[in-house]
């Protein structure tokens, strides 16, 4: 069995037993990156020397007992909006080119304390604004299942890297579906935990009340193991919560008595028939395993997209004002005064989608429109949360699509921003309500592209969706794509 075919939990066991060395695992990952990434462009920054030096340190730490984590020595990747001291961190934006933070994100620090080996930083939509990883200033990432299709976004680089065997697991961030949608498109598993479970310290913010860090991996067991490591209370993040963890302990095959709700609002017009039938087949598997399922009316679904983009863009316009060409990153070369420095640096440094969202966010916060748009969106957010609260009085888990379709072709959604925004219709409500959600692969459409089933639970209900996902994956285990052999020019043969 190839090293990169192992799950994170499986490889961790092999490393702890001494059957596979940490350097051996790191070299296998780097070899795949060097061979395959010219095809996929999942990474923005890889450092062989740093990675192998870290691998040797971890090997010694495992031997002397410093690192006892189940994932010690496992090679991982992190999204490029997570700070890592000494590594260029750009959020896939020209305006942060050359920026090397002097500190490390708390979630990444937790990985390092556990002995994982960081391979590099993955590509993403610029400042996490997009659903395809095509808004990156450094070029798009391609889907390992079909190079003509997008990997989803904004954590498309992380999802593609896992699917392509270029890392064992990866971290992403999820503001409105940015872990779950690319996991669905790339046929991997990704979980967005309850808001406040993972510290946002060191995550370069898009929408502060919505952003949450989470893992992308081959299966549910891997996601649970990573979540056990990265979840912690952090005094540096005022939204970080003290709570019980132990996610891996919830992984049981028995789901008898689990009550599943299927929102009629999510399975109407606009949902691709292949996606609908595949997900309903997966629900049938869960029922065969002992769960019960019934349809119900959730409500407020049509208001989720406008409420989300109003709130997220308002917060983005505030969060991104700090990137001005003065303190770090890109600065225009020619300017006459301070005002022109700001204007030209931001105009040249930000891409079109980021500019669009900054302008929209500034508009809804402006005098005369604040009450009409922003405050109204906050009221809708509260109503969406109440609708989920009512649903979870009856159901343990809600089943939904992760996206209305499978992965679209490159260029199709980017040319139509409204179409790109609507692709988030089944994911944004989870962020608005602060709920946990997971996407697990449950089959493929007629084109052979993966379909993801989204499982949603009430706040702090990660164990329920992990348990359901684990039970499903005991029947339908992870399936990797067939990776094409690149030629010397980095093109598919």
- Give yes or no for residue 35 having a pLDDT over 70: yes
Other CB atoms within 10 Å distance of the CB of residue 231: 26
What is the structure's pLDDT at 110? 98
- Give yes or no for residue 42 having a pLDDT over 80: yes
What is the structure's pLDDT at 487? 67
Q: What is the pLDDT of residues 184-209, one digit of tens each?
A: 999 999 999 999 999 999 999 999 99
Backbone angles phi, psi at 132, to 5 degrees: -140, -10
> Residue 244: pLDDT band by 50, 70, 90 thresholds?
confident
Q: What's the whole-number average pLDDT of the chain?
A: 96
> Residue 261: pLDDT band by 50, 70, 90 thresholds?
very high
Contacts of 49 (CB under 8 A, 6+ apart): none
Q: What is the pLDDT of residues 66-113, one digit of tens each?
A: 999 999 999 999 999 999 999 999 999 999 999 999 999 999 999 999
- Could you write out the DSSP letters of every residue in 204-224? PPSSTTT-EEEEEESSHHHHH
Tell me the average pLDDT across 410-417. 81
> Residue 491: pLDDT band by 50, 70, 90 thresholds?
low
- Give yes or no for residue 418 having a pLDDT over 60: yes
* b/e sequence 396-428, b meaning 16+ C-beta within 10 Å: bbbbbbbbbbbbbebeebbeeeeebbebbbbbb
* Closest of 315, 455, 482, 478 to residue 395, by C-alpha: 455
What is the structure's pLDDT at 493? 60
What is the structure's pLDDT at 279? 98
**CATH, domain 3-265+276-297+389-475, list 3.30.750.24, 3.90.1300.10, 3.40.50.11540, 3.30.428.10:** 3.90.1300.10
- Give yes or no for residue 464 having a pLDDT over 70: yes
- Give yes or no for residue 489 having a pLDDT over 60: no
* Closest of 96, 409, 355, 391 to residue 266, by C-alpha: 391
Residue with tokens 């699917």: 163
Cβ 268 vs Cβ 426: under 8 Å: no
* b/e sequence 278-290, b meaning 16+ C-beta within 10 Å: bbeebbeebeebe
Active-site residue, selected from the candidate residues 93, 136, 154, 183: 154
- Catalytic residue at 121? no
- Give yes or no for residue 291 having a pLDDT over 80: yes
> Residue 419: pLDDT band by 50, 70, 90 thresholds?
confident
* Domain parsing of the chain, residue ranges: 3-265+276-297+389-475
- Catalytic residue at 259? no
Backbone angles phi, psi at 443, to 5 degrees: 140, -170
Question: Percent of the chain having pLDDT more than 70?
Answer: 99
Q: What is the pLDDT of residues 298-335, one digit of tens each?
A: 999 999 999 999 999 999 999 999 999 998 889 999 99
- What is the chain's Cα-based Rg? 21
- Give yes or no for residue 356 having a pLDDT over 80: yes
pTM of the entire predicted model? 0.97
Active-site residue, selected from the candidate residues 14, 79, 121, 464: 79
- Catalytic residue at 154? yes
- Give yes or no for residue 366 having a pLDDT over 70: yes
Maximum Cα–Cα distance for the chain, whole Å? 70
Active-site residue, selected from the candidate residues 158, 178, 184, 248: 178
What is the structure's pLDDT at 485? 76
């Amino acid at each position: 069995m190839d090293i990169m075919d192992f799950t994170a939990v499986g490889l961790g066991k092999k490393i702890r037993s001494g059957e596979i060395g940490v350097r051996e695992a790191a070299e296998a990952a780097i070899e795949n990156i060097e061979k395959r990434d010219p095809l996929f462009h999942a990474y923005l920054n890889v450092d062989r020397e740093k990675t192998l030096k870290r691998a040797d340190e971890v090997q010694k730490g495992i031997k002397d007992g410093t690192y006892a984590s189940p994932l010690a020595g496992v090679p991982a990747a992190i999204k490029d909006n997570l700070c890592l001291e000494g590594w260029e961190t750009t959020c896939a934006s020209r305006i942060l080119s050359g920026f090397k933070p002097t500190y490390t994100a708390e979630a990444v620090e937790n990985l390092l304390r556990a002995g994982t080996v960081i391979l590099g930083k993955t590509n993403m939509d610029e400042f996490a604004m997009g659903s395809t990883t095509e808004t990156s200033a450094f070029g798009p990432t391609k889907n390992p299942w079909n190079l003509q299709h997008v990997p989803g976004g904004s954590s498309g680089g992380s999802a593609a890297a896992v699917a392509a065997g270029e890392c064992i697991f990866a971290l992403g961030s999820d503001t409105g579906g940015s872990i779950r949608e690319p996991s669905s498109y790339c046929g991997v598993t990704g979980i967005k935990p309850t808001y406040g479970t993972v510290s946002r310290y060191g995550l370069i913010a898009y929408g502060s009340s919505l952003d949450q860090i989470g893992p992308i991996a081959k299966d549910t067991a891997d996601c649970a193991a990573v979540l056990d490591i990265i979840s912690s209370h952090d005094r540096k993040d005022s939204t970080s919560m003290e709570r019980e963890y132990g996610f891996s302990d919830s992984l049981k095959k028995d789901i008898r008595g689990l009550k599943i709700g299927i929102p009629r609002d999510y399975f109407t017009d606009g949902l691709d028939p292949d996606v609908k039938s595949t997900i309903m087949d997966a629900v049938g598997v869960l029922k065969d395993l002992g769960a019960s399922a019934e349809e119900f009316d959730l409500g407020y679904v049509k208001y989720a997209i406008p409420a989300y983009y109003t709130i997220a863009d308002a917060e983005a316009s505030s969060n991104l004002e700090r990137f001005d060409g003065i303190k770090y990153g890109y600065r225009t070369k020619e300017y006459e005064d301070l005002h022109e420095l700001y204007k030209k640096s931001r105009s040249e440094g930000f891409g079109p989608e980021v500019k669009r969202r900054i302008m929209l966010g500034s508009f809804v916060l402006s005098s005369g429109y604040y009450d009409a748009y922003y405050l109204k969106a906050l009221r809708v957010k509260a109503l969406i949360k109440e609708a989920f609260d009512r649903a979870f009085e009856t159901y343990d888990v809600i089943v939904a699509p992760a996206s209305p379709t499978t992965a679209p072709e490159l260029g199709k959604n980017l040319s139509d921003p409204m179409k790109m925004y609507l692709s988030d219709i089944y994911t944004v409500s989870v962020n608005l309500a602060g709920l946990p959600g997971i996407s697990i692969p449950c089959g493929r459409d007629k084109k052979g592209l993966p379909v993801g089933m989204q499982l949603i639970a009430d706040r702090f209900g990660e164990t329920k969706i992990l348990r359901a996902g684990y039970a499903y994956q005991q029947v339908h285990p992870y399936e990797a794509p067939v990776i094409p052999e690149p030629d010397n020019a980095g093109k598919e043969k």
